[in-house]
Amino acid sequence: DFKQTSENVLDGYNGITINPNDPKALAYAINRLANDRNFCIQLGRNNWIESMKKNTFEAVAAKIDGFWRMINL
């Protein structure tokens, strides 16, 4: 489990999370993605919605400003 993944992926809403040590869960997730086009489309739409919430112009500008300040430019 990666911190950024668990912070950004909501299982069944904008992605699928699985236990990496569970091959049956991985197989199920792959099968669902391969065979459920509507589910994939909905995941994509929900990702776009979440991205637009988190990546407003102001939020991105603040991240860039923070980066430049961090490297002292």
Q: What is d(CA 61, CA 68) in angstroms, rounded to the nearest whole number? A: 11
Q: What is the mean pLDDT of each run of 10 residues along the chain (73 residues)?
A: 75 92 96 98 96 88 90 77
- CA dist 73 and 65 (Å) reads 10
Q: What pLDDT does 42 receive?
A: 98
* Tokens coding 4: 């950024």
What pLDDT does residue 1 have? 54
Determine the Cα–Cα distance for residues 42 and 65; give it in Å rounded to an integer: 33
User: Which pLDDT value is given to residue 44?
Assistant: 97
pLDDT of residue 2: 65
